[in-house]
A and B are shown apart, each in its own frame.
Chain A
Amino acid sequence: MPSDSRKSLGTSRRRFLGQALTAAGTAIVAPKVLDPNSAAEAQQPLVNRHLPIQGETPVTLMINGQSHTVTIEPRVTLLDVLRERLNLTGTKKGCDHGQCGACTVLVNGDRIYSCLALAIMQEGRSITTIEGLTTGEQLHPVQAAFIENDGFQCGYCTPGQICASIALLNEVKRGGASAVTADLTHPPESLTLSEAEIKERLSGNLCRCSAYNGIVAAVQQVLGQTPPSPAATILVQEMTG
């Protein structure tokens, strides 16, 4: 077992079983699909199956306000660390080539494609994934707006779309221009950000179901351009309540 998980090994029967069977090399175990709501389980993978490879190095990442140390080969992407090592599977792998946006996460408030980012380069930075957006039971306003405006169908691109939308809001607040900004000396403001601006700023995130209208409407709502419908607000309260 690698060093990072060794220190977390407890006496739980499940982990003991895992080691024993792995050692025997003939493990046959029914899958234990754990409750994803269990924070403790989510943070500590049951087993790290990767083989020790020369050149692995411990890397400490600050993710959703918590520190995680993993021992990885330097070429491992942030996406693979999130999904394969830390069980933060809310971040999706769509193309693994930086072309679809499903793996978008926030690093120091900016969006990146986590499939194109080496995990080892993220040390000392603050990483936020879709799992880190909720405060207790309280949804982030962008998350709520996606529900209220039906901004998804299959949901697979949704974590990336939400992270991209949050970054978009930050970029506009900072006065960032986009490729369709007419006058670079007068970047658009939140209340007047045009639909074309929103679309340009979200064009790096594909949605094959084409829930695009709902996604744009969600962003407009959070920008304060359109009020949420009273019925939608009630729905969200009921669901989270």
Chain B
Amino acid sequence: MSNIEPRKQHESAIGHVTGKATYTDDQRQPVGMLSLYPVLSPHAKARILNRDLTAAQAIPGVVTILLPEDIPGENDTGPIAHDEPLLPTDTVNYWGQPVAWVVGETEAAARQGAERVFVEYEPLDAVLSIPQAIAMESFHNSPQVCRRSDPDTALKTAPHVLEGEVEMNGQDHFYLETQTSWVVPDLEGNYLVYASTQHPTETQHIVARVLGVPSNRVVVTCLRMGGGFGGKESQANPMAAAAAIAAAKTGRPVRVRLRRHHDMMITGKRHGYLGRYRVGFDAEGKLLALDLALYSDGGWSLDLSPPVLLRAMLHADNAYYIPHMEVRGQIAKTNRVSNTAFRGFGGPQGMIVIEDIVDRVARSLNLPPEVVRERNFYHGEGETNTTHYGQELVDNRLMRVWQSVQAQAQFVDRKAAIAEFNQANPYKKRGIAVTPVKFGISFNKKTYNQAGALILIYTDGSIQLNHGGTEMGQGLHTKMLQVAAKALGVSLERFRMMPTSTDKVPNSSATAASSGADLNGQAVKDACETLKQRLAPVATKLLALDTPEEMVFADNWVYCRTYPSARVAFDEVVQAAYNDRVSLSATGFYRTPNIYWDPETYKGRPFYYFAYGAAVSEVEIDGFTGTFKLRQVDIVHDVGESLNPLVDKGQIEGGFVQGMGWLTMEELVWDAQGRLRTHAPSTYKIPTVSEIPDKFSVTLLERAAQDGTIYGSKAVGEPPFMLAMSVREAMRAAIAAFGDNPTYVPLALPATPEATLRAIDGLSAATSLEAAQPASSGVL
């Protein structure tokens, strides 16, 4: 980016490498701070019969124990529905649900106390899976329907029809910094909350709700987060709320900092999904009709499940034009953690289903999957370039990223080389695949597409920058500094980036939906424009220009565009403005234009634009162990005109690897009693440095400036996550090579070595079945 300040490194770079970057729990502790420790339910569902606190209260250092009756306001932390008690009164609804919080002088005392809180339960029958919820009709909502044309008729007339299921796992966020909140009360009934939260405003609302006080009594500040990924959007709130209740009860500062296994047991995760489909297609592999039922595992409370489901439904097309399509969506109510936002927000769950289908369609016709993918791309204008919910892909870049990445990866040559390798190696097989991503950018809920900023210029020319977004490692603060420096025409060194706080920028939206830079960047720019409008006349006067002319702010100088040789320093203008009694602080605001959504018809233009990307992955699978090695990854991704290429490449690499983790190794294992058996890094495997391919090439799409966005840039947080679908498809290609040109390669998610071995073993069985009864065509 030529016209943005050439700052490449992260704004907290020095802080991060010296250990001085301060996270919530790294602050100097206020005097008398207490610690919280939870008492967790040992049942997935049970009635609470009795609570005995006597032994716990006898522990030295136990100050008090929080029960529902200690909540002065509403006993609820639900972000959408009020169905989520902070502390259950009569029934526990998942294994690991906090039933009480022990408040101790130290964490050790609170922990000892928690071990001696005795709760008597009567276990009840629990709903522990999506199929069980479907069978028992245990749902959070009624079926949602998004329909295009007439899929029923089209399925009847389609030359080929297949039906099947795709079931997928959830995913633990595994942010390295667990959920943390500090609450500091004052003598006047106000609460200062330091929380590791992606949504300070919602944390403020929930804390105020449980305390029964107006929002103006609660200030929530987020310094920075040690990772968020969606897991600190709504999930930060119950912990902050519990600490607030303890602060209200004791009058002392309180901190809660979840232990890792508690964090994994208590908090919601990515939704597991079940997709059941019927797809109709022709002999060339063109998709004609799709009927898809999506069921998500919402867990015990609603949380953010409806918008996650909506995004899954709106991304079940990925990049493909399907003329007749119906997607139904429903949220299963189960006795598990309340599943929540996670990078992609339903998009990955919807997209993996259609990618599974397209690969199956291709293999059933003995066509190369990449050929069938390309044949079905949105293209042209009007109908064939319009999604099932009625939004046209203005500026469709699918073919650009698709062709660029295949050229970069030398896809054709490598595919031929892999075929040779597979011929020569009976026990190791390689596979290569290319998959596209189209991801809609904007919050589905129109209201959330707004942002605010506050800029304070001091008389020495130094500046404080506030905006409503939070920093979790995605580089938002770095980008906002770049935007402000460019817009004001001053150097970055003048700025201090302030922690995100609800008393600086109120009513902010969650830093989510990849929208942080888009929304807050425009708000920051707006504030800068306001300030420049006030400073320009002051500069005009200092330069003794007769009439107000177009003033330029650049390189810490202010001058007239038509007469640049006479200029005045920014500092001088600021001081003169103060002397002239001109305000040196301004707010900025932005709301995304031209978006709308009709929830009745499931039609509209919910997304301001689409982000595009494509990835080529090559894997090698060991036929004896089922393990795979990711040999090479090539990515071309569209970030518009990048605000910061270093940050954007980091997001693309990180999103891809996290997606690969979800699809291939991160297995959440729940036992028959509804207990999560994988609640530590020892049993829940996220990608390590060893899983990173030696050849990992990321290219930003060139000449990609986007109209109507902040300096032509595009959102980057979530879309790259789904580039990892290429890894799974490459694995299916490698598995197929163990068989004799199989017409279908089912592969369970996540594709662990066990799942891969089962898939290889399943090939022979499936092949013999196909031979006996051709199932690749015919009406079902």
List chain A positions with a Cβ less than 8 A from chain B: 17-18, 21-22, 26-34, 36-37, 41, 45-47, 49-51, 83, 87-97, 99-100, 102, 129-131, 133-134, 139, 143-144, 146-148, 150, 152-159, 162, 195-196, 199-200, 202-203, 205-216, 231-232, 235, 239-240
Q: Are A239 and B9 in contact (CB under 8 A)?
A: yes
Q: A90-B19, A153-B474 are in contact. Are A97 and B680 (CB under 8 A)?
A: yes
Q: Smallest CB–CB gap between B485 and chain A, Å?
A: 14
A87 touches B28 (CB 8 A): yes
Interface residues in B507-563 by Cβ distance below 8 A to A read none
Other-chain contact of A97, B17, B25, B27, B682 (Cβ < 8 Å)? B682
Secondary structure of the B contact surface, majority rule: loop
Q: Is B323 an interface residue when CB atoms closer than 8 A count as contact?
A: no
- Write out the residue numbers on chain A whose beta carbons fall within 8 Å of the beta carbon of B29: 31, 45-47, 49
8 A Cβ contacts from B273-317 to A: none
- Can you list 5 A-B pairs with a CB-CB distance of less than 8 A? A50-B105, A96-B259, A99-B680, A147-B13, A208-B227
Cβ-defined contact, B176 with A92, below 8 A: yes
B177 touches A158 (CB 8 A): no
B616-637 vs A, CB cutoff 8 Å, 1 = contact: the mask equals 0000000000000000000000
Chain B residues lying within 8 Å of A162, measured Cβ to Cβ, are 17
For B107, give the chain A residue with the smallest CB separation.
Answer: A84
Tell me whether A31 and B60 are in contact (CB under 8 A). no
Q: Which of B30, B61, B227, B649 contacts A31 (CB 8 A)?
A: B30
Partner of B690, one of A203, A209, A210, A211: A203
Within 8 Å of chain A (Cβ to Cβ): is B22?
A: yes
| Contacting pair B692 A31 (CB below 8 A) | no
Residue of B nearest to A156 (CB): B226
Quick check: A159 and B19 within 8 Å, CB to CB?
yes
Given known A-B contacts A28-B186, A32-B28, A212-B689, A150 and B14 have beta carbons under 8 A apart: no
- The list of the 4 closest CB pairs from A to B, nearest first, reads A90-B19, A154-B473, A156-B226, A155-B16
Complex CA gap A65/B378 in Å reads: 64
Q: Which listed residue, B30, B251, B696, touches A30 by the CB 8 Å rule?
A: B30
Q: Which residue of chain A is the closest to B651 with respect to CB atoms?
A: A153
**Cβ-defined contact, B31 with A96, below 8 A:** no
A159 CB, nearest partner CB in chain B, Å: 5
Alpha-carbon gap, A88 to B22, bound state (A): 11
Asked whether A208 and B30 contact (CB < 8 A) given A30-B186, A49-B105, the answer is no
A27-B32, A100-B681, A150-B9 in contact; A209/B184 too (CB < 8 A)? no
> Cα distance A159–B23 when bound, in Å?
13
Binds A, one of B126-134, B652-660, B762-770: B652-660
CA distance A207 to B227 in the complex (A): 10
B175 partner residues in chain A, CB cutoff 8 A: 154, 156, 208
User: Which residue on B lies nearest to A14, using beta carbons?
Assistant: B31
Which one, B20, B187, B253, B650, contacts A211 given CB within 8 A?
B650
If over half of A's interface residues share one DSSP class (helix, strand or loop), that class is named, otherwise mixed; here it is: loop
B18: min CB distance to chain A, Å: 6
Interface residues of B (CB under 8 A from A): 8-10, 12-23, 25-33, 60-61, 105-106, 108-109, 173-178, 182, 184-187, 192, 194, 224-229, 251-253, 257, 259-261, 472-475, 646, 649-651, 653-654, 656-658, 680-682, 686-690, 692, 694, 696
User: Which of A47, A129, A154 is B472 in contact with, Cβ under 8 Å?
Assistant: A154
B473 touches A214 (CB 8 A): no
B184 touches A31 (CB 8 A): yes
Q: Could you list 20 further interchain pairs (A-B, Cβ under 8 angstroms) beyond the known A22-B31, A93-B25, A199-B690?
A: A29-B253, A31-B29, A32-B30, A47-B32, A50-B108, A51-B109, A95-B680, A97-B260, A100-B260, A102-B176, A147-B10, A150-B646, A153-B650, A154-B176, A154-B472, A155-B16, A155-B473, A156-B175, A210-B654, A232-B8
B187 to chain A, nearest CB (A): 5
Q: Do residues A49 and B253 form an inter-chain contact, with CB atoms below 8 A?
A: no
Q: How far is the CB of B109 from chain A (nearest CB, A)?
A: 7
How many angstroms from the CA of A134 to the CA of B186 in the assembled complex?
38
Q: Is the CB of A37 within 8 A of B20?
A: yes
Q: Cα distance A50–B60 when bound, in Å?
A: 11
Give, as a whole number of angstroms, the nearest-CB distance from A241 to chain B: 11
Report yes or no: B60 in contact with A213, Cβ–Cβ below 8 A: no
Pick the most buried of A156, A162, A214: most chain B CB atoms within 10 A of its CB. A156
Residues on B with C-beta less than 8 A from A144 are 17
- Chain A residues within an 8 Å CB radius of B17: 130, 139, 143-144, 146-147, 152, 158, 162
B174 contacts A152, C-beta separation under 8 Å: no
In Å, the complex CA distance between A21 and B31 comes to 8
Closest to B182 in A: A31
Are B32 and A22 neighbours in the complex by a CB distance under 8 Å?
yes
A176 smallest CB distance to B (angstroms): 18
Query: Could you tell me the distance between the alpha carbons of A18 and B17 in the complex, rounded to whole angstroms?
Result: 32
**A212 → B minimal CB distance (Å):** 4
Are A209 and B192 closer than 8 Å at their CB atoms?
Answer: no
Contact call A96/B260, Cβ cutoff below 8 A: yes
A129, B17: Cα distance in complex, Å: 11
By beta carbon, the residue of chain B nearest A148 is B9
Residues of B within 8 A of A90 (CB): 18-20, 26
Are B658 and A202 closer than 8 Å at their CB atoms? Answer: no
From B25, B174, B187, B646, contact of A89 by CB (8 A): B25
Q: In angstroms, how far is the closest chain A Cβ from the Cβ of B346?
A: 20
* A146-B17, A216-B689 known; A209-B473 Cβ under 8 A: yes
A32 to B108, CA, bound (A): 24
Report the separation of the CA atoms of residues A229 and B101 in the bound assembly, to the nearest whole angstrom: 52
Is B31 a contact partner of A208 (Cβ separation < 8 A)?
no
Most chain A CB inside 10 Å of its own CB: which residue of B23, B25, B29, B224: B29
A28 B251 Cβ-Cβ under 8 A: yes
Complex alpha-carbon distance, A102 and B175, angstroms? 12
Closest B residue to A216 by CB, please name it: B689
